[in-house]
Amino acid sequence: MKAALPESGGGGPVVVTGAGGFIGRALVERLVGRGTPVIAVLRQAAALPEAAEPRVLGELTAATDWSPLLARARAVVHLASRAHAPTRDEQRWIESEAEAGGSLARQAKNAGVARLVLLSSIKVLGERTQDLPFGAHQPPAPQEVYGMAKWRLEEAMRAAAGDALAILRPPLVYGPGVKANFLALLRLVDSGLPLPFAAIDNRRSLVFLDNLLDLIETALVHPAAAGGTFLLRDEEEVSTAELVRRIARALGRRPRLFVCPPALLRLAASLAGRAGAGDRLLASLRIDDLATRQRLDWRPRVALDDGLAATARWYRRRRP
């Protein structure tokens, strides 16, 4: 049984920002299904479970007035952010995201909200690992704009909310409804085209959507989550080649992999202006989440193959 939220939070709803996104929509459905009242904050109108209370606020800024929502809220989950940085004025974008999050955290604290949960990113610690995985006490070292933005957002919200805030740093999240790079990989494997990944011997951490939602729920109520920063991943870590094989199996396809020297793949990605994408295919990104498991009594309950199977079923249903 999950612990109750601290008494100071009352019995009000959970405010979920970014409720129209991949993770936000799934979280709202999960909470509503458990009978938890939810205020779903959206940039624009979107379909949500009937029991959720939608609020369309447009772009969130430091000037957003949260008082009508926070006056009766017991917790906030902040998921709203752009998945990709703009091509111009990156520093201004970083600061605007931090200012908006800091304002939300400050107003939540002033309203007596018991717990805030921020979904950050493992990219705060970097883009790749060498000999050792990223660990709980590793200092931030973001290497790209997105990671820098998440780090600044963490700092701004921590300064405003203090120990009321719990920060989660997931790796790539996959599951039904996934978008962007993982959806592109699903399409690529499903195409049946030969892929030059057979010689890639890296290790990548991923997390299935339901495993992430479990930890968000835990962070909302667990006393030990207060003021903490938590890493997470699925039980297995796999190479890019093995991930393609597992996806192909989930899709009912025969994996078609051939050997191409990784150095040549890296060069091709760089020449195509996709060095970052090439690095994600070739480099390792490993996570040690033992501290999260011990402190919050959490572990991923959905295995990688089961998560990929659920994602593949969704993918098959959505195709025209």
Q: Residue 149: give its domain's CATH number.
A: 3.40.50.720
Q: Report whether pLDDT(215) > 60.
A: yes
Q: What is the mean pLDDT of the chain?
A: 92
Of the ranges 182-186, 275-279, 312-316, which one carries the lowest mean pLDDT score?
A: 275-279
* pLDDT reported for residue 7: 36
Indicate whether 22 belongs to any domain.
yes
- Please state the domain count of the chain: 1
Look at residues 163, 212, 200, 164 and name the one whose alpha carbon lies nearest to residue 285: 200
Q: In this structure, are residues 94 and 149 in contact, taking their beta carbons and an 8 Å threshold?
A: yes
Residue 135 lies in a domain: yes
- At 280 the pLDDT is 81
- Asked if 298 and 218 touch (Cβ cutoff 8 Å), the reply is yes
CA atoms of 3 and 222, how far apart (whole Å): 6
| 107 lies in some domain | yes
Cite the active site residues.
146
Q: Residue 194 CB: number of other CB atoms within 10 A?
A: 11
Determine, yes or no, domain membership for 248.
no
Assess if residue 291 is contained within a domain: yes
**In-domain check, residue 294:** yes
* 95/86: higher pLDDT: 95
37 in any annotated domain = yes
Q: Considering only CA atoms, which of 273, 202, 215, 275 is closest in space to residue 243? A: 202
Residue 47 is predicted with a pLDDT of: 87
**Structural domain span for residue 94:** 12-173+207-235+286-300
CA distance readout (Å), 283 to 50, 128, 240, 262: 43, 6, 9, 10
For residue 311, being part of any structural domain is answered with no
